[in-house]
Structure 1
Amino acid sequence: MTSESPSANEPSGGSARQFLLTYRVYITAASVILVFGLMALAIYHLSAEVRYADVIAALEGTPWSALALAVFFTALSFASLIFYDVNALEYIGRKASFASVAVSAFMAYAVGNTVGFGPLSGGAIRFRAYSRLWLTPGEIARVIAFVTLSFGLGLLLVSALSTLAVAPQVSHTIGVGPFWLRAGALAVIALMAAVFFIGRNGRTLQFNGFTLRLPDSRTASRQFLVTAFDIAASASVLYVLLPQTHVSWPVFLAIYATAVAIGVLSHVPAGLGVFEAIMMAGLSNAISLDQLLGSLVLYRLVYYVLPLLLAVVVMLVTETRQLAARPGVAEVGQIAARLSPALISTFALLLGAMLIFSSVVPTPDADLDFLEGLLPLPLVEAAHFLSSLLGLGLLVTSRGLAQRLDGAWWVALLCACAAFVMAFLKAIAVFEAGLLGLFIVALVFNVRSFDRHASLFRQALGPSWLAAIAVIIVAAFVILLFIYRDTEYTHQLWWQFEFSEEAPRGLRALLGLSIGASAVAIFSLLRPVARRPQPSEMVDIVRAIDVVRQQDVADANLVRMGDKHVMFSHSGSAFIMYGIHGRSWIALGDPIGAKEDFAELVWQFVEAARAGGGRAAFYQISPSVLSYCADAGLRAFKLGEIATVDLVHFELKGSKLAGLRQSYNRGARDGLVFSLVDTFEVPTVIDELQAVSDAWLAHHNTREKRFSLGAFDRSYVMSQPVAVVRKDGDIVAFATLMLTDTMAEATVDLMRFAAQAPNGTMDFLFVSILEHLRDAGYRSFNLGMAPLSGMARRDAAPVWDRVGGALFEHGERYYNFKGLRAFKSKFHPRWEPRYLAVSNGTGAALALMDATFLISGGVKGVLGK
C-alpha cells in the first residue's frame, strides 16, 4: 500500500491562503457589490408600500427652517472633525498653523465622506496635505491611525452609552429585547472603561517585546468629547430633517450610530444603501417610509454633497491672484492646489452618479410640457440617453483626474460641457447645470495640475473603481424599479417614444449604461497583461551611464552592473533602475537625472508595474521623492538612515576624530600604503583584486550580493577607479569608487580585504579615500545606509518603526545592525532617512522580502548567506 505526501492531498490551507492573498482585492470588490446588492434589495422590499410621488412630496414638504438647521449641524460636525487632526498633531508632538490643519482636515473629510474608498480616501488626502507641512511619513501615519482609532472607539462608546440609556425605546423600535441590548452596551462600556483606566497618565503596554502607549486620561477624554460632539451633530443633521415623530433624540442617536458603524464596516462607498437600510429597518415602526426616504435623500445632499461643493469653492477662491498674494492665504492655497486633483476627481465621481441617477428619474411634468412645445421628441430622447452615457464617462474619467492625466482633463471637460447642454435639452435641469458649470470652472482654473502626458485609454480601472461604478449602476437600477414599480413591464416599453412616457426612457438609458459599464469592466479585467520587460540592452546601459555622469548621486553608478532593468523618462533625461522578483517591481533609489522628470517618471513606473500585474515599490528613496510617491498612491515606510560626510570640512585634527587619526597612524606604522588606481589602470591589477575578493568571500562563507550592491564582475570593477591598500607591495584591501563628473558626491561599492591585512586596515582605507577625494575637490562622501537605524523609539511610533527598532536592538545574531552604524558613526556623518514606498503595509512586507531575494540572489542566496 502506497501513501501520498500530505501536500499532495491538501487543496488546503496553503493554496486557499494563496488564493485569498492573490485575489483579495477582487474578492473585496465583489463582496462590496454583493453587500450593496443585498442592502438595495432590502430597501426595495422595505419600501413596498411607498410610492415615488410620496417621497417627492415629503422632500418638497421639508420646511426651510429644517434645512437651515441641517446646514448648521453639518457645520458643527465638520468643525469638530477638524479637531480630530488638531488633537492627533498634539498627540504626536507636532505643531502646524490652525488654518492649514483646518483646510487639510476639512478637505480630507469632504472627500472621504463622499466616496469612502481607497484610491480617494481621507488618508491619501492627509498624506498629500501634511507632507506639505513637513511632517514625516511616520508622523502622518500616526495622525491617520489616531484619527481612525479615535473615531471607531468613540463611535462604539457613544452607541453603547445611548443604547444603555434608552434600551426599552430602542428595543420597541428595532425588535431586540432590552436585556440583550443593555448587556451588549454594558460589555462595550466596561471594555472602554478598562482601556481608559489602564491608559491613565499615558501608561504603556508590553506585548511580546512591542510597546504601545495608550493616550493619557486628558487626551482620551478630550478626544471622546470631540467624537461624541461630532456624532451628535451629524445625527442631528438627519434628525431635524425628519417629520414630527415620537422617536426621541437619544433613541435616534443609538440607531444612527449603529447605522454609521455598519456602513463603515461594509466598505461600500460612503456606506450607500447600507446606512439607509439600517435606518429604515430601525425607524420603520415609528416614521412613515416615504417621509424617511425623503429625509435620507436630503441628509445625503446636505451632509455629503454640500461640504464637497464648499471644498471645491475654497479651492477656487484660493486660486485667485489677489488672495494668493496674501501671506495668510498663501499656505492654505498651496495645500488646496496640492489637493485639487483629488477634489476634482471626487467631484467628477459625484457628477457622474448624479447624471446616471437623473437618467432614471422622471422629468417634472411642467418641464416636459415646456420642452414639448419647444423641441422635437428625438432631440429630447437623444439628450436623455446621451446624458446618462456622459455620466458614465465622468465616472471613468475620475480615476484619470486623480492621477493628473492631461487626457482625462480634456475628456472630463468635453463630457461636462456636453452634459451642461444636455441638462437643458432633456429636462431644463438648472441645478444639475449649475453643478456642471462649477465643475467646468474648477477644471479650467486648475488646468496646470493636470500635466501628465499619459494615455487615458491605457489606464485600466482597478477593482475598487469598478466596484464603485457597479454600486452606482445597481443603485440606478433599484431607483428605476422603485419609481416604476406600478408600471407593468412589457417588451413594447423599449419602443415607446412619447414625451409623457418616462419609464421607456429610463429603461433605455439604463440599458446603455449597463452595456457601457460592462464594456469598461471587460476592458479593465480581461485585457492582456503587459509582458515583463526584457533585461536592458547594452545601448540602454550606455545611455544611462551618460545620464549618471551629469548628476550628483554617486550610487547611480550601480547601473553599470547591467543586472537591472532601466526605464527612461519620455525626454530621456532621467531614468529609474529596477529589479523584478515575484510580483514586486522594485526601483532602486531615487530617479536619476533631470529632476523635472521625476514626478512623471514615478507615475510611469507605477503604471508599468500595475499593467504587468505587479506592485510598484521604491527602495531606499530619499525624503525629496516622497511627495511624488504620495501622489501616485504609495505609502512610505522607513528603512534606516544614510550617512554622509561633509568632505569640505573633513579634518583629522581635533578630538572628534581622534580614534580615526590613531587608526590611520597605526596603519601607516604597520607599513600600509594607499593609492588610487585610475580606471584605465585597473586591468593591470584585476587579477590581484580577484584573489583578494575570492579569499574574502571564502573567509566570510558568503556569496556575492546584487541589486543594491555591486558584485565582483571583472567588467564592472574595471569600469571605475579602485582605491587599494598595499603592504609589502601586495594588495591587502581595496574598495571600488563610484564617482560622477559633477564632483558633488562620491561613494564606495565593493569593499574587500585579505586575511593578512592588519587590524584597522579598513579605517586606514576609508580615511585615505576621504582625504584623497577632499583634496580632489569632491564635496561629500556617501557612507551608505545603516538598515533600521533611526527608527522611532517613542511609544506612539508606528508599528513598522517599532518592529524595525526591535530588530535593530535584538537582531545582532542575524545581522550586524549596531556594528554597521557604529562604524559609520566614527566619521561623524550627517544622517538622513531612507524609505520604502509601496501601496500598503502588507505590500511593504512583501516588497521588502522580494528586495531581500533580489539582493541575495533568490531563496538559496538568503539561506546560504
Structure 2
Amino acid sequence: MSHEANIPENTSALGWRLRAAAPYLAAVALFLLGLLALYHLLAPVDLHEVAAQVHATPWTVTGLALASTLAGYLCLAGYDWSALRYRGKSLPPPVVLSGGLMAYAFGNTLGLTPISGGAVRWRVYSGLGLDGYDIAAISTFTSVSFGVMTTLVGLGALALHPTALTAMIPVAPATIRVWALLAIAAIVVPLVWAAWGERAVTLGRFTLRAPRLSVLAGQVPISLGDLTFSALTLYLLLPDGAPGFFTFVAVFAAATMAGVISHVPGGIGVFEAIILAAMPAAMPPAQVAAALLLYRLIYYMVPFALALVTMALFEGWRLVGRPLPGSRLGRALALVEPGLRAVSPLAPLVLAAMTFGSGLWMSLSALLPPLTEAAETAETLFPLAFIEGSVLLSSTLGAALIVLSLGLLRRSAGAFWLTLAVMAGGIVVAMIPPSDYRQAATLALAILIMQPFRRAFHRKAVLTHAVLTPGGLAMLAIAATGFGFALFLAYKSTPYANELWWQFATDSRAPRALRASLLAGLTLGLGALVMLLRTPRYRPLPPSAEDLAAAGRIATASGHPDTMLVLTGDKSVMFSRDRRAFVMFAPSGRSWLAYGGPVGPPDAANEVAYDFAEAARNSGMAPVFYEIGPDDVTLMLALGMTLHKMGEAAEVALPGFSLDGPGRKRLRAAHARGLRDGLSLDLSAPPHDPALIAALREISDDWLAARNAREKGFSVGRFDPDWLDRWPVALVRQHGRIMAFANLLPTGDGQAATIDLMRHRHDAPPETMEFLFTALMLALKDRGYARFSLGMAPLSGLQPERSRRLWDRFGALIYRHGGSFYNFAGLRAFKEKFAPEWRPHYLAAPSRLPPLRPLADAARLIAGKPPNGRG
C-alpha cells in the first residue's frame, strides 16, 4: 500500500478538519462575543474599585456563599441517585456521593460535564455491576434533568416577574408572562402524561423514556435545590439594589443555559455578560463584577481545588502503600474508595486544566496594575530592574505553562517535569519584589498536588512533537484573547502611542503591560508553531519481517488469540517508543482503522494508542478502533472516542464444557450423529506437509466457489500456505477423507484459543461444522486450555429500548430483518448452543453520529479491496 493512496487529497483533509473544528470555532466565536459584550458593560469600571469591593466583602457573606455552594453540590450528587432510581439500580450512597461530587467538581469548572462527568461515572459504576447502557442512561438523565428543570425554573420565575429580562427582550411584560406560561405547559403536560404511563417522549430523532412519577417527584426537589442554591450563592454576593430573588432566578437560569449552550469552559464571558446586562442600571457595575468574580472563585474554583487536593491525598496514600486505617475515618474512606479510585485516571485532564489556569493567572497578573496599596508601595521602594524583570518573567512563565498544559493532556513525561520546573521558577519570580506571596503559595500547592500522579505521565514523546488539535488551538486562542481583554480593560483610559513600548519607569504600568502581553503572546505563538511544525507525519507502510517478529512476540504474550492476526502482514504496525506494545491498522477511505485495541503492557499500550490517534488526525484521517472489548473502554473514553456497539463475542469456559446434562442435548445428538457418519477430528501441528496444504486448498476453492466469494482480509486470515504453516490445523475427516478444516490461533501460555479460517466441502454432512467446534473444544479442554473464543455475533445484543441511540435502533433493525443478506440471528443461535459468555464489542470513533462511514471503510478492507475503494 503506497502512502499516496492512504492520505486524502488536500481538499478532503481540509474539509474533514474544518468539520472537526466547527464546534471549537463556534465556542471561540461565542467567547469573543461574550468578551465584547463584557468590555462594553464594564466600560465605566475601575479594576481598583473591583479589587476593593472583593476585599471588602464580609466574611459572614463569604461563609454563607460557601455553605450555599456545599448545599448546591450535594443536590448535584442527588442527580446520580435519582438517575439510578430511574434505571432501577441500587448502589451504596457513599459511592454515589463521592463519584457524583467529583464528577461535578471537575465537570463544572472544565465546562465538559457530559464528557468528564460521564468518564468518572463509567469508572465508578462499571466496576459495580452497571453496563454501558446504564451509565449512558445515567449521564443522559442528569443532563436532561438539568436542562429541563433549569428551563422550567427560569420560565416560572419569568412568569412571576416578567420584567426580569426586559433589558434584553424588547417585549411587553404581559406578553412575556403568557409566553412563559405556555412554554411551561408545553413542557410539563407531555412530561407528566408520559411519566403517568411510563411512555416515551420523542424530540426530533431522539427518544427518551419518561421516568416514573415517583422518580419524577423525587427529581423535582433535587433540581430545584441545585438551581436555587447556585443562584443563591451569587445573589448573596451581589450589592444592595439587586432585584428580588425570584426575579434574579430568571436571569440566572437564562445566563446558565446560555453558558452551557455556548460550550465555552464554564460559560466564561457569556454568563457574566447576561448577568451584567440584566442588572438594574442603578447598580454599580464594579460591585456586580466583584460579585461575579467571587462567585467564580467560590462556586467553581473552591470545589475544583478541594477535589484536586482530595484526589492527590488519596493517590498519595495509595502510592506509599498504606492500608486504610481501621478507625471510623478508615471505614468511611473505605466506603468512598471506589469513587476516589475511579477519579485517578482523570488526573492528566484535571492537572492540565490546573496548569492552564495557573499559567493564565500568572500572565494576567503581570498585565494588570497593582490592585493593593501594599503592592503599589513596593513598586516605589525597589529598583526598576526588579519590577520590569519580574513582570516579564511572570508573563513568559505563565504563557509557557499554558503551552505545557497541552503536553500534560497528552500524558507526556517531559511536559510533567518541565511544568514542575516552570512552576518552581514561578515561585522564585513571585518572591521578587514586589512580592506576590499568594501566587507563590498557590504554585507551591500545585507542585505538591502533581507529585502523587507522576506515574500517570508516562509517555516518552518528544514534547515538541505534539499534535495541536482544534481543541488545543481553541484554548490557546481563548488565552491570547483573554490577555488582550485584560490589557484593554485595565488601561482603557490610557492614550496609546508607539512611545509606550519604550517607556521604563516605576509608574509606567501600561507600557510594562504592553511588553508583558507581547512576550506572552510570542511565547504562545512560538510554542504552538513549534508543535505544529515539528509534528512528524507517520507514513503507514507494510510491516517488515523484523516488525512482524516483534509484534508476534508481543501478541503471543498478550493472552488474546485474536491479536495473532497481526501476523497476516496486511496491516501496518505502529509500535510504542520502547517497542513493548503495538497497534495494527490499515488506512481505508477517511479512516485509519485499528483492528482491536492496543496490544501490550498497559503503560506502553496507552502510549501507542495516543500516538496512533494523533498520527491519524495529523494526516487528516479519523482514528477508528474496530472490534474492541470491554477492557479497552476506559482508554477509548480517555482518547475522546465515542463507543458504538458492534455486537457481542462468545467465549466458552472450557473447564466446565461437556456434552452432559439436559442443556447440551442438541450438541450431544449432533456430535453422536457425526460419529455415526464417520466423522473424526485430528489436530495437525505445523509445519504441514505440502500434500496436506494442497488438499486444504482444494477444499478452500470449493468453499469459495459455492458462495461466489473471494478471499477476505483485515479481521480474518487468507488461505495462504505461509499463513497456515504457522498454526495448528483442525481437520474433520470422514472415513479418512478431509471434509473440513480450521486453523487454530492459540495464545503463548496455552490458555486461550480461537479459530480463523473455517472451510468445508459442499458435500460435507450437515453437522460437520457443529461437530468441528464440539470436538475441538473437547480436545482443547483435555490439553488444559481454559478459554475458547467463538468470535463475534455482529449486531447482536443491541438494546435500543435501553440506549435510545439511533445507531442501536438501526443496528437492531438490521439484526432482525437483515436475514436476506446475512444470517445475523442464525449465527447468534448457532453459537448460543455452546452456552458461551457474551462480551460486548465496540467500534470506537471520534464522532457521535452513527458510524456508517467507518463501517463502510472497514467493509472495504475486509472485502480485500484497496484503500481507495477500487478492486
Matching residue within 127, 136, 139 for 2:134? 139
Cα deviation code 1:145-177 (max 9, x no counterpart): 111111111111111111111114543785432
Q: Contact 1:269–1:468 at 8 Å: present in 2 too?
A: no
Change (3 A) 1:212 1:659: same
Of residues 472-481 and 504-513 in structure 1, the stretch that sits farther from structure 2 once superposed is 472-481
> Where do 1:178-189 residues align within 5 Å?
178-189=173-184
Name 1:23's counterpart in structure 2.
18
Cα distance between partner residues in 2 of 1:16 and 1:146: 40
Of residues 463-472 and 480-489 in structure 1, the stretch that sits farther from structure 2 once superposed is 463-472
Name 2:7's counterpart in structure 1.
none
Matching residue within 299, 317, 323 for 1:303? 299
Cα distance between partner residues in 2 of 1:833 and 1:262: 38
Name 1:732's counterpart in structure 2.
739
Q: Contact 2:164–2:278 at 8 Å: present in 1 too?
A: no
Name 2:53's counterpart in structure 1.
58
Change (3 A) 1:422 1:502: same
Name 2:157's counterpart in structure 1.
162
Q: CA deviation at 1:809?
A: 2.4
SS in 1 for 2:432: helix
Change (3 A) 1:18 1:578: closer
Of residues 40-49 and 168-177 in structure 1, the stretch that sits farther from structure 2 once superposed is 168-177
Is the aligned partner of 1:641 residue 2:648?
yes
Cα deviation code 1:582-622 (max 9, x no counterpart): 33222222433445643333333333333433333322222
Cα distance between partner residues in 2 of 1:169 and 1:636: 43
SS in 2 for 1:592: coil
Q: CA deviation at 1:484?
A: 1.3
SS in 1 for 2:687: helix
Cα distance between partner residues in 2 of 1:182 and 1:682: 87
Is the aligned partner of 1:240 residue 2:236?
yes
Change (3 A) 1:73 1:692: same
Cα distance between partner residues in 2 of 1:440 and 1:18: 40
Cα distance between partner residues in 1 of 2:104 and 2:288: 25
Name 1:381's counterpart in structure 2.
388
Cα distance between partner residues in 1 of 2:372 and 2:676: 103
Cα distance between partner residues in 1 of 2:415 and 2:190: 48
Q: Contact 1:529–1:613 at 8 Å: present in 2 too?
A: no
Cα deviation code 1:349-379 (max 9, x no counterpart): 2212211221221114644455457643212
For 1:111, the aligned partner's letter is F
Cα distance between partner residues in 2 of 1:551 and 1:50: 63
Name 2:817's counterpart in structure 1.
810
Change (3 A) 1:528 1:439: closer
SS in 2 for 1:656: helix
Matching residue within 471, 475, 483 for 2:490? 483
For 1:217, the aligned partner's letter is L
Name 1:11's counterpart in structure 2.
none
Change (3 A) 1:256 1:637: same
For 1:402, the aligned partner's letter is L
Cα distance between partner residues in 2 of 1:560 and 1:501: 69
Change (3 A) 1:462 1:549: closer
Name 1:508's counterpart in structure 2.
515
Cα distance between partner residues in 1 of 2:159 and 2:314: 47
Q: CA deviation at 1:850?
A: 2.4
- Structure 1 stretches of 5 or more lacking a match? 1-14
Is the aligned partner of 1:493 residue 2:489?
no
Q: CA deviation at 1:258?
A: 0.6
Change (3 A) 1:550 1:409: closer
Q: Contact 2:466–2:535 at 8 Å: present in 1 too?
A: no
Of residues 564-573 and 487-496 in structure 1, the stretch that sits farther from structure 2 once superposed is 564-573
For 1:226, the aligned partner's letter is I
Q: Contact 2:555–2:600 at 8 Å: present in 1 too?
A: yes
Q: CA deviation at 1:131?
A: 4.2
Q: Contact 1:647–1:778 at 8 Å: present in 2 too?
A: yes
For 1:148, the aligned partner's letter is S
Name 1:687's counterpart in structure 2.
694
Name 1:9's counterpart in structure 2.
none
Of residues 604-613 and 519-528 in structure 1, the stretch that sits farther from structure 2 once superposed is 519-528
Name 1:565's counterpart in structure 2.
572
> Where do 1:618-633 residues align within 5 Å?
618-633=625-640
Cα deviation code 1:35-73 (max 9, x no counterpart): 222222222222333333333333333333222222121
Q: Contact 2:744–2:756 at 8 Å: present in 1 too?
A: yes
Is the aligned partner of 1:553 residue 2:560?
yes
Cα distance between partner residues in 2 of 1:236 and 1:583: 50
Cα deviation code 1:538-583 (max 9, x no counterpart): 2211222233344432222222211011223344343332222233
For 1:646, the aligned partner's letter is A
Is the aligned partner of 1:95 residue 2:90?
yes
Q: Contact 1:120–1:342 at 8 Å: present in 2 too?
A: no
Cα deviation code 1:415-448 (max 9, x no counterpart): 1111112222254222222221210110123323
Count of residues in correspondence between the two structures:
850
Of residues 37-46 and 265-274 in structure 1, the stretch that sits farther from structure 2 once superposed is 37-46
Cα distance between partner residues in 2 of 1:233 and 1:674: 72
Cα deviation code 1:753-801 (max 9, x no counterpart): 2221122111122222223323333232211111122233644555544
Name 2:3's counterpart in structure 1.
none
For 2:250, the aligned partner's letter is A
Name 1:74's counterpart in structure 2.
69
Is the aligned partner of 1:656 residue 2:663?
yes
Cα distance between partner residues in 1 of 2:465 and 2:12: 31
Q: CA deviation at 1:118?
A: 8.7
For 1:328, the aligned partner's letter is A
Name 2:4's counterpart in structure 1.
none
SS in 2 for 1:167: coil
Name 2:333's counterpart in structure 1.
329
Change (3 A) 1:57 1:367: closer
For 1:463, the aligned partner's letter is P
SS in 1 for 2:820: coil
Of residues 128-137 and 263-272 in structure 1, the stretch that sits farther from structure 2 once superposed is 128-137
Name 2:278's counterpart in structure 1.
282
For 1:273, the aligned partner's letter is G
Of residues 52-61 and 775-784 in structure 1, the stretch that sits farther from structure 2 once superposed is 52-61
SS in 2 for 1:348: helix
For 1:97, the aligned partner's letter is P
Name 2:5's counterpart in structure 1.
none
Matching residue within 262, 266, 284 for 1:266? 262
For 1:716, the aligned partner's letter is W
For 1:578, the aligned partner's letter is F
SS in 2 for 1:675: strand
Change (3 A) 1:349 1:471: same
Is the aligned partner of 1:669 residue 2:676?
yes
SS in 2 for 1:362: coil
Change (3 A) 1:67 1:463: same
TM-score (norm 1): 0.92
Of residues 325-334 and 240-249 in structure 1, the stretch that sits farther from structure 2 once superposed is 325-334
Identity of aligned residues (%): 37
Q: Contact 2:14–2:620 at 8 Å: present in 1 too?
A: no
Cα distance between partner residues in 2 of 1:389 and 1:259: 34
Cα distance between partner residues in 1 of 2:371 and 2:602: 56
Cα deviation code 1:435-472 (max 9, x no counterpart): 21210110123323333333322123321122123223
Cα distance between partner residues in 2 of 1:861 and 1:494: 56
SS in 2 for 1:681: coil
Name 1:712's counterpart in structure 2.
719
Cα distance between partner residues in 2 of 1:805 and 1:642: 16
Is the aligned partner of 1:409 residue 2:416?
yes
Cα distance between partner residues in 2 of 1:94 and 1:395: 42
For 2:244, the aligned partner's letter is S
TM-score (norm 2): 0.91
Cα deviation code 1:681-726 (max 9, x no counterpart): 3421222222222222222122222111112223212322222223
Cα distance between partner residues in 1 of 2:580 and 2:13: 41
Of residues 624-633 and 142-151 in structure 1, the stretch that sits farther from structure 2 once superposed is 624-633
Name 1:39's counterpart in structure 2.
34
Is the aligned partner of 1:116 residue 2:108?
no
Name 2:215's counterpart in structure 1.
219
SS in 2 for 1:225: helix
